[in-house]
Structure 1
Amino acid sequence: MNTKILVTCCFLSVSAFSQSIRGRVTDEANSSALPGVTILVVGKQTGTTTDASGNFSLQLASGRYTLRFSSLGYDTIEKLVTVAANDNAPLDVALKSAQTNLTEVMVVGSRNINRSVTDSPAPIDVIDVRQVTAKTGQLDVNQLLQFVAPSFNSNRQTGSDGADHVDPASLRGLGPDQTLVLINGKRQHQSALVTLFGTRGRGNTGTDLNTIPAAAIERIEILRDGAAAQYGSDAIAGVINIVLKATTNQLVANVNYGAYQAKYRFDNQKFDGGNLNVNANYGWRIGKNGFLNLTGDYNQREHTNRANTPGIDSTLQRRQYGDSRIKNSSVYANSQIPVSTNTTIYAFGGINFRKGDAYAWTRTADSPRNIPSIYPDGFDPIITSTITDGTFAAGVRTTLGNWNVDLGNIFGSNRFDYGVKNTLNTSMGATSPREFKAGGFQLQQNVTGLHFTRFFKNTLQGLNVAFGSEFRYENYQIFAGEEASYKAYDISKAAGAQGFPGFQPSNVLNKSRTNLGIYIDTEADLTKAFMIGAAARYENYSDFGSTLNGKLSSRLKISPSFMLRGTLSTGFRAPSLAQKYFNSTITNFVGGQPVQVQIAQNGSAITQALGIPDLKQETSVNASLGFTSELGNGFSLTVDGYYVRIKDRVVLTGQFSDELPEISDALKQLNVSQVQFFTNAISTRTRGIDVVLAHRTQLGQGRLNTSLGVNFNSLDTISVNTNEKLKPYKDLYFDLREYYFVRASAPPSKMNLTLDYSVNKWAFLLRFVRFGEVKLANWNYDPTDLDIYRPKVTTDLSISYRFTPQIGLSIGGSNIFNVYPDMHRADLTESGGAWDPVQMGSNGTYWFGKLNFRF
């Protein structure tokens, strides 16, 4: 009798504590089955995947659970379920496709919370970072966007001082400082670095996207349209909004490693540039709707070396030419805490520490800048960096009446400290140290904003009104290096640290400015098919005055599957504090010979002697016209043409020599032979077209997503803005090399074809990227002897497999056919290697493996 009771109790216990929950997962768009979907029980180390028919089952004890459904190529969702005895009702779930382009809820470009990407009047790309990073070799944000978004361009520099440590990036071939970057919709600070060398961003101060770890990002929204009237300065080319993760109760960790297969290395080493990345992300739920999401990220990238390439005279090349070594550590957080039904406190931000070693130009054994007793074989200086970047934002969102109110503040700081090692100060002779602290610079920004938004549902077919104000404070500093890093102890010999002369006390400065902006932004749906929008923004700067800009936009739905859209706006960009005040002495190599060059501050005695006026804001006229279409059978197409005319662009001029009588004495007193400076030198016109074609379909038991992104871009210089004193030097003021540097900000065409196939636990990605032809002028200033980089195609391939719902592996390669740009004379290129730094890179094939953990 007791045995029967025991067996009965065990049977009842199993029934109560081990129930079966089953269901089916389908594609929301066409109700087709989704195989290989991961189903995790939040907070427990258990889960399953769907079979070939999309079916799944789980054994769970009675109770309430949160199930998380996720699949590569689809939005992750959570379902709250109750497991009870004798309850066999199936759980059917439909997932929404998550493309790497126009499919997410949109934040940037409109303050209407009812507006989505597909009915926006301006073109917007939305990139699901989790989907992209899971399958591709790129680890940092700049390189990730470079190979995903056709209108985005970035490249790594070498022999370019600070630009070896901070990658310049741009939209639509415009300057890095003509793209505004936001984090969670708040203005992010720029880098303290002003780019002086290389093929991209010369004379610009951009935002360092790589300070934000990709592991902390949910998605990146790219508004490909002028938006200065909506968001203020820097938004001439567009806006990049980085949205941080807000997930909870899930630990995601990744271990990534890859290296380059070197086709060109003088020492026959097959692999270099090893790149290790380790990151983890976890979120805690706070109350019902609050959260705290935290990310830690560490990345270590080693040098590549592509010097002494075949067919190039080794005596004319640098001995070290390639990527810098970087150690990058970041901690980022995103949080939101409801304090009442209508009020929420938010905070986000993080800190990034970066240390870098970058190759400088070779000093040969017989160079007058070498001391043979210290370096009998010559030496290769290393420029080091210590970069500290921090962002902190906090605020409150609430409602007043029917108005949504956001009061917030964001503070950002970027500090760049230079060092030089494996070097010497020639003027100190054999007693010279081999390492120096060379000084640096810092930029800080604080923005306080008050924003009001209201949607009038019953006015017309919907009217959205937004207005507000922002107050911004900026501070820029330059600090000197140690004395031996810049001083000439023997005036007959070269002064300062070879590779990077330190900042001198005469360079030191501490400059600030303030800005007040007021805006209004409206959107009205006149009918369900026809929308118009208008925005205006007034800004006043303490250092150069006021500006007023406006924007008109419209969208017309011709049919449920076809929509016309267009915008017209004026814009502006205030010259950065670095462009206004930066001053230093640098060393250029012309035909392999060193030349001391002074970067003169705007308003200095030298620029005044040449009649250079004070810097003023750049102004622009932007226009775009395009359409979006659903072509049926899973096809979608967007086509957008654009026109951007910019007046008074700030650029770095050509080099004026000490032979000019107006500045001869001043330059000789500085012991430099040439001078450059920042000025509103040119006006430009950019025309282009963006095309995005996407297709999704069921293929066998899996899912195939295909996308084609194309950008055609043409930039022309309309005029060179000189005064009477400079007219005889017009070709020097904006010389041949500077002209081609501006044009090379983007190739004239860039195409991206991606095929993404998922089936069961497998995922395959094949991607082709074609970079159009780029032309650059040489140090010989010969228009008939340009460096021409013909169009090239790189091919990426990756294979992913999920062993369990918690563990997955991806392996693959970028540029698997080891394609390189065309080679050129190393003694005439900007960088002193066989290639200038162009968008496709010159490192060759990158092989990688990624291990993912998800609990």
Structure 2
Amino acid sequence: MTRIFIAVCLLLLVCHATYAQHVVNGQVTDNTGAPIPGVSVFEKGSTRGVTTDGGGAFRLEAANTNAIIVFRGLGYATQEVALNGRSTLTVILLSEATAMQGVEVVGSRNLNRSVTQTPVPIDIIPIARITNSVGQLDLNQLMQFVAPSFNSNRQTGSDGADHIDPATLRGLGPDQTLVLINGKRRHQSSLVNLYGTRGRGNTGTDLNTIPAAAIERIEILRDGAAAQYGSDAIAGVINIVLKSSTDEFTGNVNGGLTSKGDGENVGFNGNYGFKIGEGGFMNVTGDYLYRGRTNRAEDPVKVGEDKVPRRFYGDALMENFSAMFNARIPITEKAEIYSFGGYNQRYGNAYAFTRYAGDDRNIPSIYPNGFDPQIVSNIGDRSLSVGVRGMLKGWNVDFNNTYGINRFHYYVEKTLNASLLEQSPTRFDAGGFQLNQNTTGLHFTRFFENVLPKGTNIAFGAEFRTENYKIFAGEEGSWKAYGAYYLAPNDQGGVDTVYRAAGSQGFPGFQPANAVDESRTNLGVYTDLEFNFSSHFMIDVAGRFERYNDFGNTLNGKLAMRYEISPALAFRGSVSTGFRAPSLAQIYFNTTYTNVIRGEAIENLLTRNQSNITRVLGVDPLKQEKSVNGSLGITSRPAKGLSITVDGYYIKIKDRIVLTGDFDADNAPEIATDLQNLNVSVVKFFTNALDTRTLGLDAIVTWSKRFTGGHDFTATLAANFNDLETGDVKTSAKLANRKDIYFSERERSFLIASAPPSKINLTLDYRIGKFNTNLRFVRFDRIKLLDYDGVYDVFDPRIVTDLSVGYKITGNLSWVIGVTNLFNAYPNKQDAGLTDSGGIYEPVQMGFNGTYFFSRFSFRF
């Protein structure tokens, strides 16, 4: 694979065509002549881009004298200017009040920079520029090291979470963040996380289905937005804006591996856009990424007779195919049809816990040396959004329908069903689950210039959403017990009949009794009013009413404001209520599965929340999570090229949904008779058991300077400080004395560790001529997790250092080499037999793969 990568890179070097560059200098002002700092200035259809400094000035290297330069600034209408041979430009941006609707804002190319003119904190992440200087290739990992409030760790030994990375904002659940594409709701994954150090009991959106090469920018609204966008927006909103460039092919060839020689990554992607009619376009992206395994397991030979739980511990093997398109076709002078969508197919292979030769779950005639089951995934993800928008009697009208489906199919290889003895197959179809979602929306917006001194913007609309969730069974041998047994001596001198373990080892399949096919509907109506009392003071008021066919009604509101004391200082703040309806997976998911504790497998039943078992135990049906959000911050530009934003936040969530611990006759004797009557040995379930309170602070400082001689330097310091507290555990009446099982201290430690107490990012970017270098330090604070002995495993603070150097070989070919985790930082070692993941490192903070070397060729034609 490495040889193929090298050959492709050499071929690109030989085959590309060179061309001269054209340097453009200029300034950007508003219609009063005041300079506008922080405006994104870039060549259309390329990755070349800069940001205006404190005086509104810029210097850009364009491809040629006929290039088209795009100017984008928050609160201003985007402009495209053809150079036509000019080397100096003076551009005036006109105000566009409608650019401040929610998170659908035009952005800045500053790394990790909050948009300073909005009443709520928004990060703008320019993906094209960032991907040219960092080693991360998938979207989750890229954002993990860019945005301090965003956290995502690759899991291992976590079943489905080995294949879909859970991600969080501000330490809340993966399902408490809403993801949009081009401002439209994105469907979630069908996976509900059961294991791992992130997102237990939560569903979430699989960001890695979206190729980074298709993205122009990512906007992260770090504020509660359920009143504006509906369920899932308690922690905030991530809006992914797709590329719209035309008449140019851009691409990347990526490769890398760890310092231990594993975890090789090879990626190819290409993006091309072409015009359709007058003002229309279609932009298409294709992406392929291969990720090899890593192994950081202890050697069983070196630890003596006490065998470690896993002979293989590390990243799963992954092969990811993605395609994305974004299109717009004008149909009249005032109306257009638009569409976007994507295709993703992922194949994963992750090792489960080891079954050694003498293990009761092994058949020595099949595996004389024991075996390591492999959980294989086939994940398909499809989406399509189609809409029409335009002007109607002074109103901007947008009618849209967006559909998405995610299907997760499990297979288990190099395994067996011990109850079949020597006749057992070694590969099983284990079944899986599927989620599809359809959202139809009608939206109206209009700006009234003569209402209030600086105008009023009114937005309102309605959305109707349907969802369907399915679980489909695996083949019989993946779950059935066939009755094989053996006789084992007991302490009384006799023998016991011990039945062989049923189902495919590593991951037992879904049974026909687990199968579900459930749907629900949701109708939402909202209004959003923005009052601009002056150029210095504005207030935004939003309200949303929603009706679920299975949860009834809810009404939520939001109030936000911004007051600018001077061009150098402004205050902003918001307060809102929110909600999150439980996902269909949390309501209906059920399975019989294997839980490994201290290296031993125990069969458990995870029952659906509305089952006979939960009713007998007195467990209430799941209800909505309710939240109160508040934020207060300042934005400042105290000097030329210097930008500062500081935002504090408070998030209180009531009736948070959690996954309970295991109840059986021994640890909960008060329900022993109930379990016996129901023929259940061990049971767990989803329930509204917890109230949480989160306090935090986001701070971002950016300084940029252009020195004499064409030296450009940018420094960005971004930090998130986060503290989560949990309240008393709320149980059913029958289990009132079992709070330690309902939600244990161990589970509490995993919830709190969803985000480190602090995460600090310092990025230094330097450019001169054809050279650029990027140096980044990310500090992850200490994390504590309770192990199976009830002792806290402490993971001390770690600093990860990334370094890259880039060179523009020609105008259409650039090369970057670099290293992530330069100083080979690892989490603290722990006892593998007592950790949740069965390894000496837990998948916390920055991961456990050590130093990674990478190289990237970027080209355009």
Question: TM-score, normalization: structure 2?
Answer: 0.88
1:108-134 deviation line (CA, Å, top 9, x unaligned): 725799999321110000000001000
Offset of residue 678 of structure 1? 0.4
Query: In the alignment, does 2:512 pair up with 1:508?
Result: no
Matched with 1:685 is 693
Tell me if the contact between 1:108 and 1:239 (Cα under 8 Å) persists in the aligned partners.
Answer: no
Q: 1:697 to 1:360 in 2, by over 3 A?
A: same
Q: Which one-letter code corresponds to 2:704 in the other structure? A: R
State the secondary structure of the residue aligned to 1:611.
coil
Which of 304, 310, 316 is the aligned partner of 2:294? 304
Q: Distance in 1 between matches of 2:333 and 2:519?
A: 41
* Other-structure match for 2:563: 556
Task: Report the Cα offset of residue 723 of structure 1.
Answer: 3.1
Q: How does 1:82-97 map to 2 (within 5 A)?
A: 82=84, 90-93=86-89
1:12 corresponds in structure 2 to none
Q: CA deviation at 1:458?
A: 1.3
Task: State the distance in 2 between where 1:635 and 1:420 align.
Answer: 55
**Cα RMSD (Å):** 2.8
Listed as ranges, the matches of 1:342-381 within 5 Å are 342-381=334-373
Shift of 1:58: 9.5
8 Å CA contact 2:44, 2:245 repeated in 1: no
SS in 1 for 2:722: strand
Q: CA deviation at 1:78?
A: 5.9
Give the Cα separation in 1 of the matches to 2:615 and 2:243. Answer: 50
Cα 1:312–1:846, aligned 2, differ >3 Å: closer, same or farther?
Answer: farther
- Aligned: 1:80 with 2:72: no
Provide, for residues 5-45 of structure 1, a one-character-per-residue CA deviation record: whole Å limited to 9, x for no partner: xxxxxxxxxxxxxxx9976435759999xxxx998999xxx
Alignment counterpart, residue 219 of structure 2, candidates 212, 221, 229: 221
**Structure 1 CA distance for aligned equivalents of residues 555 and 629 of structure 2:** 15
Superposed counterparts of 1:432-447, under 5 Å:
432-447=424-439
* Structure 1 residue corresponding to 2:580, chosen from 549, 554, 573: 573
1:573-597 deviations in Å (ceiling 9; x for gaps):
0000000000001111111111111
Which of 465, 481, 492 is the equivalent residue of 1:472? 465
Q: Deviations over 1:444-483 (max 9, x none)?
A: 0000000000111111021011000000000000000000
Deviates more, 1:570-579 or 1:553-562: 553-562
CA offsets per residue over residues 311-356 of structure 1, 9 Å max, x none? Answer: 8667124100000011100110000011111101000001100000
Who is 2:54 aligned against?
A: none
Match of 1:619 in 2: 626
Instruction: Give the corresponding residue for 2:123.
Output: 125
Separation of aligned partners in 2, 1:530 and 1:68: 32
Native 8 Å contact 1:39 1:805 kept in 2: no
Partner of 2:455: 462
Q: Distance in 1 between matches of 2:704 and 2:390?
A: 40
Say whether the 8 Å CA contact 1:108–1:223 is kept in structure 2.
no
Structure 2: 5+ residue stretches without partners: 1-19, 47-57, 72-76, 109-113, 485-498
Tell me if the contact between 1:107 and 1:185 (Cα under 8 Å) persists in the aligned partners.
no
- Quote the residue 2:169 is aligned against: 171
Whole-Å separation in 2 of the counterparts to 1:832 and 1:510: 34
SS of alignment partner, residue 222 of structure 1: strand
Q: What does 1:245-644 correspond to in 2, within 5 Å?
A: 245-262=243-260, 271-308=261-298, 315-460=307-452, 461-490=454-483, 492-644=499-651
For 1:121, give the aligned amino acid: P
- The 3 A distance-change label for structure 1 pair 296 and 669 is farther
1:771 maps to 2:780: yes
Q: How far apart, in 2, do the equivalents of 1:201 and 1:94 lie?
A: 50
Query: Cα deviation per residue 1:78-104 (whole Å; 9 max; x = unaligned)?
Result: 643557xxxxxx53147999xxxxxx9
| Consecutive unaligned residues in structure 1, runs of 5 or more | 1-19, 43-52, 84-89, 98-103, 263-270
Distance 2:785 2:732 in 1: 27
Amino acid at match of 1:816: L
CA contact (8 A) 1:121 1:565 kept: yes
Give me the whole-angstrom Cα distance separating, in 2, the residues matched to 1:375 and 1:218.
51
Aligned-partner residue type, residue 352 of structure 1: N
CA distance 1:522–1:843, shift in 2 (3 Å): same
* Aligned CA distance change for structure 1 residues 167 and 106 (closer, same or farther; 3 Å): farther
Deviation at 1:679, TM superposition (A): 0.4
Tell me which residue corresponds to 1:7: none
Distance 2:426 2:23 in 1: 69
CA–CA distance in structure 2, aligned partners of residues 747 and 657 of structure 1: 34
Q: CA deviation at 1:66?
A: 4.1
Q: Is 1:761–2:770 an aligned residue pair?
A: yes
Question: Compared with structure 1, are the counterparts of its residues 81 and 743 closer, same or farther at alpha carbon in structure 2 (3 Å cutoff)?
Answer: closer
**SS of aligned partner of 1:318:** coil
Counterpart-to-counterpart distance in 2, 1:566 and 1:847: 42
Equivalent residue for 2:848, pick from 833, 842, 847? 842
Q: Say which is worse superposed, 726-735 or 481-490, in terms of deviation.
A: 726-735
Instruction: Give the alignment of 1:12-161 within 5 angstroms.
Output: 24-26=24-26, 65-67=66-68, 79-82=81-84, 90-93=86-89, 109=102, 117-161=115-159
Identity, in percent, stands at 54
How many residues are paired up? 792
Task: Please say which of residues 797-806 and 525-534 is displaced more in the overlay.
Answer: 525-534
Q: Is the 8 A contact 2:43 2:62 kept in 1?
A: no
| Alpha-carbon offset, residue 727 of structure 1 | 1.3
**In structure 2, distance between residues paired with 1:31 and 1:475:** 52
Specify whether residues 428 and 356 from structure 1 end up closer, same or farther in structure 2 by C-alpha distance, changes over 3 A only: same
Return the offset for 1:287: 2.2
Deviation at 1:737, TM superposition (A): 1.4
Deviation per CA, 1:755-795, whole angstroms, max 9, x where unpaired? Answer: 01111001100000000111111122x2xx20111110000
Q: Distance in 1 between matches of 2:61 and 2:445?
A: 44
Distance in 2 between the 1:202 and 1:807 partners? 44
2:332 counterpart SS class: coil
Query: Contact 2:141/2:152 (CA < 8 Å) preserved in 1?
Result: yes
Cα distance in 1 for partners of 2:788, 2:732 equals 26
Tell me the residue number matched to 1:266: none
Partner of 2:55: none
**Cα deviation per residue 1:503-529 (whole Å; 9 max; x = unaligned)?**
000000100000000001111011221
Within the alignment, does 1:707 sit opposite 2:716 as a pair? Answer: yes
Contact 1:681 1:720 in 2 (8 A): yes
Corresponding residue of 1:9 = none
Moved more, 668-677 or 194-203: 668-677
